[in-house]
Structure 1
Amino acid sequence: MSRTQRLFDLLQILRRHRYPVSGEFLAQELGISLRTLYRDMGELRAQGADIEAEAGVGFVLRPGFMLPPLMLSLEEIEALALGAQWVAGRVDKSLSAAATNALAKISAVLPEDVRDGLQTSGLMVSNWKELAPTEQEDKHLAMIRQAMRHERKLDILYSDVNEVVTNRVIWPVALGFWERARVLVAWCETRSNFRHFRSDRIQSLTVATERYPRRRLSLLKDWRDEEACAQAKWDSRGGGREPMRDAADKSWH
């Protein structure tokens, strides 16, 4: 067990106990000597943990200490690194850069043993260029995310699977990222219902100044309820696939 993981485990044990815990008990729980335990206590205090020690009684962690990012385990860091790699190859440039920057910031505050483990990890994600958004789609994805944050309507020209182009005014609700496509979930004013739009089929896009009349989270809940019903129908027919994923895959055949 690395020292980082041991410090994390020590904090978790202290959190579980409202009253002082003896050093002997803590050392036994962690499988370390009392000398090592006292050294670990000093390290946690140096990082801001309010740990009080009472002679003959034990140690207690006072409320208010927040777990810093450097206390993540190597496996947790590897999971974040894989996620950042996946994001970097399949989203717009702005979000890709944010993922890379976030991982760099986390890496900068990691203990040396964990940082070395991250840098020598053999875990990789396949980021083929053909999976990445085109320049136009990249621009549209950034605009869609902005519209979602501010709950703004979008005016789009959209080409369906049959290459029929229509003008739509939509309320962006969610954005799904699949292996080969990005799918926008939106309320369509033309259809008066939720629709799925592949972002690579959006020919032009304008973010309106007008906000849509309902909160996005409320719309998202309604869409999820509809998706759950649709999934149940699929399952009853032996479909076994997510309706939204099917929308993402349709035109690839």
Structure 2
Amino acid sequence: MSRSERLLALLQVLRRHRRPVSAQTLAAEMGVSIRTLYRDIASLQAQGAGIEGAVGVGYVMKPGFMLPPLMFASEELDALVLGMRWVADRGDRTLANGALSTLAKIAAVLPPDLRRELQESALLIGAGKEIPLHAVAPDLLRAAIRQQSKLQIAYSDGAGTNTQRTVWPFALVYFDQARVLMCWCELRNGFRNFRADRITEVALLGVRYPKSRQELLKAWRRSQTMNGQTILPEIDSS
């Protein structure tokens, strides 16, 4: 285990303990000497880790401490790079810019060896099928979900039938060839899915729907669970 990986593991161990834990206990869990444990604690504190305590008292992690990017393990960096590159390649312009900006910010605070590992990652995104053009900006759909606001939408289904709906959007699903808005539909009094590229008009009503998006997502999962497996409902055509 490299030193950076050991420091990361120590942070994770501290997170599991809600009360002060002795250096002896930490050293035993980490498989290191007491001297090495004290040195690692001092290094983490110098880097800004919210670790409180002292020799003979024990150590505890302050609530709300966020793991600094420089402590990413190699596998975590691989996952981060691959995910951000997928978003940059397959997301809309706002998300793509956000992904590239995120990678740049993380690279700026990584130590040199991990920065090179991130920048020279050999994990690439293959060419995908073209995503249909959207008449409505995905930013607006995401904003409605964040605000838990009702939407008025004009929708054209696969048969070309046009309808007006008032919906409660609670999730946006990203498939390779389509984006799907998951909603509670007031017209059908039930859960419905709408392909984002078939939504021709949208108005943010500024009215908060009566349930939280977490409640709606849980209710949808319960309604779709069959034999212990969650099945994505079909796109609305009614």
User: What TM-score do the two structures reach when normalised by structure 2?
Assistant: 0.80
The question of 1:242 aligning with 2:231 is answered yes
Task: Give the corresponding residue for 1:175.
Answer: 172
Per-residue displacement from partner, 1:31-89 (whole Å, max 9, x unpaired)? Answer: x996x7665454223113447664xx7x9434327332221101111111111112223
Percent identity, aligned pairs only? 41
Amino acid at match of 1:79: A
Which of 216, 223, 231 is the aligned partner of 2:213?
216
Give deviations 1:175-233, integer Å, cap 9, x for gaps: 111111111111112211111100011112221233323333322222121121xx44x
Task: Tell me by how many angstroms 1:14 deviates.
Answer: 5.9
Q: Distance in 1 between matches of 2:219 and 2:12?
A: 38
Are positions 1:94 and 2:97 aligned together? Answer: no
Q: Could you state the TM-score of these two structures normalised by the residue count of structure 1?
A: 0.76
SS class of match (2:135): helix
Q: Which runs of 5+ in 2 are unaligned?
A: none
Q: Which one has the largest radius of gyration?
A: 1
Paired residues of 1:52 and 1:62 also in contact (CA < 8 A):
yes
Which residue number in structure 2 is paired with residue 29 of structure 1?
31
Contact 2:192 2:235 in 1 (8 A): no
Letter in 2 for 1:5: E
SS at match of 2:164: strand
Q: What stretches of structure 1 of length at least 5 have no aligned partner?
A: none
* Counterpart for residue 45 of structure 1: 45
The count of residues paired between Structure 1 and Structure 2 equals 231
Of 42-51 and 200-209, more deviation after overlay is shown by 42-51
| Residue equivalent to 2:104 | 104
Question: Which structure has the highest helix share of the two?
Answer: 1
Q: 1:6 aligns to what?
A: 6
Contact 1:14 1:21 (8 Å CA) reproduced: no
Q: How does 1:88-237 map to 2 (within 5 A)?
A: 88-128=88-128, 130-131=130-131, 134=133, 136-137=135-136, 139=137, 141-228=138-225, 231-232=226-227
> In 1, are the aligned partners of 2:166 and 2:185 still within 8 Å (CA)?
yes
Deviation at 1:22, TM superposition (A): 8.7
Following the alignment from structure 2 to structure 1, what is the Cα–Cα distance between the partners of residues 215 and 178?
Answer: 25
Does the C-alpha gap of structure 1 residues 145 and 22 become closer, same or farther in structure 2, counting only changes over 3 Å? closer
Structure 1 vs Structure 2 CA RMSD: 3.3
Aligned in 2, Cα 1:48/1:153: closer, same or farther, shift over 3 Å?
Answer: closer
Change (3 A) 1:13 1:160: closer
